[in-house]
Amino acid sequence: MLDLKFIRENPELVKENIRKKFQDKKLPLVDELIALDEENRATMKAADEMRANRNKISKMIGALMGQGKREEAEEAKRQVSEQSARLAEAEAKEAKLAERIREIQMTIPNIIDPSVPIGRDDSENVEVTKYGEPAVPDFDIPYHTEIMEGFNGIDLDGARRVAGNGFYYLEGDIARLHSAVISYARDFMIDRGFTYCVPPYMIRSSVVTGVMSFAEMDAMMYKIEGEDLYLIGTSEHSMIGKFIDQILPEEKLPYTYTSYSPCFRKEKGAHGIEERGVYRIHQFEKQEMIVVCKPEESPVWFDKLWQNTVDLFRSLDIPVRTLECCSGDLADLKVKSFDVEAWSPRQKKYFEVGSCSNLGDAQARRLKIRVNGEDGKKYFAHTLNNTVVAPPRMLIAFLENNLNADMSVNIPVALRPYMGGKEKISPVRK
C-alpha cells in the first residue's frame, strides 16, 4: 500500500507504474483518490472548526445561566445541538471517504524496483542464472506419481474418498523422504542464522488483508465458517502478522525467521496434465524464510534469501535456475521477485519450486509495523519472504533427479542422517 502523501505528490509516477504492470483499468483510481483525499481533508478541517465552535459555545452556557440570561443560554444550547448534528454528518462523511480512500490505496500496486523487466505475464519472465548441469538419463522417467506408487508411497484414491481432489496420502519411504526434506531444510536455515518458528495456522482477516492483495485472498484463502479466521496459504502470513501494530526497536533489526507450517490453498482454475498428482494441491507443507529489516537493507537480504534456496537444492543434487518475474507477473504488493525453478529430467525443462519476494514497506504500512529509529523518528520496516522447500512438489524434482534405471532413488549425503543413514531407497514393486 502506497503512502497517501506519496500518491498526492507523485500522481504521474504512480500512473506510469500502473502502466508498467499493464493494469490500465486502475489509472482512473489515482485521480479519484486525489480528489477524495482533497474532499476528505476539507471535511476534516470543517469538522475541526465545528468541534471547536461547539466547545466554545458549550463553555458559555454555564456562564450565561449564572448571570440569569436564560434566553441567551437556551439559544446557546440550540446552537450546540445544531453544531452537534452538523458535526455528526461531517464525521459520517469523513468515515465514508476514509473507507473508500483506503480501499483504493490497497488496490493501487506498489512501486516496482527499477531493475524489474517490463512484461505482461510470466511468459516474459527473465532467466538470471543456472546452477548445476541439467541432465537427461538414457532411460524413461515415469510421471512422479508412478515413481511414488512403485514405493507404495502414495494413495490418491483414498484421499479423494476422504477429502476430494487435490489431497493425498504419503506412505512408507516417500512419506519419510517428505519429512526428511522438511527437517533438513529446517536445520539448513538454522545453520544460516535464522530462528526456527512454528506459527499459528489460522489468522484473522486484519492480517490477511495486511499481507496480500484482495485478488490473491480470493484465489487462495479458505475461510473458517462463523469465525473471523482463515487457514494460512503459507507461514509468511502468520510470521509477518506476528508484528502487527508493533513499534520495533531499530537495534533489534533484522528479524530473520525460518518457519514451518502446513499450507492450505484453493488453487482455483483448470490446470494442465503436468500439474496433476501432487504438483498443485490444496494442502501441503512448507519451510519458509521471512525477514523484517531496515529499508536500506532489503535489497541485500533479497539476494541472500533466494541464494539460500539455490544452495539447498544444489546440496541435494538438483539443478536449478533463477527467474526474475516481470512487471506484469508481480503481485501488487511486491517490489521485486525471483522464482527458483528446478530441473525436470522427465519434462526436459525447469519448473517452479519456490518464490522470493521483496515487498518493500507495503505489508508493514498495512499492518502498521513501524521501527523506532535512533533519532526517535519512526518509519515502516521492509518485509521479505522466500520458500526454502515446499514438498511434496519439491519431491517431484528430488525423485526425478536422483532416480536410477532400476527405479531406486539415491539419497544425497546431506540428507542421509534424516533417512536413517540410507544411501538409496528401492521400490517395493517395479
Please list the active-site residues.
Answer: 265, 280, 352, 355, 393
List % helix, strand, coil for the chain (3-state, nearest 5). Answer: 50, 20, 30
Helices and strands in the chain: count of H runs, count of E runs? 13, 18
Cβ–Cβ under 8 Å, residues 331 and 313: no
Torsion of CA 247, 248, 251, 253, to 10 degrees: -150
At CA 58, angle to CA 55 and CA 62, rounded to 5?
145
Residues near 390 by Cβ (< 8 Å), separated by ≥ 6?
263, 284, 285, 286, 287, 353, 354
List, in order, residues 6 or more apart from 358 with CB less than 8 Å away. 113, 298, 299, 301, 302, 334, 335, 336, 337, 382, 384
Residue 13 has φ and ψ, to the nearest 5°, of -65, -45
Question: CB-hemisphere CA count at 13 Å for 277?
Answer: 21
C-beta separation of 288 from 239 below 8 A: yes
d(CA 127, CA 368): 35
Gap between the terminal Cα atoms of the chain: 54
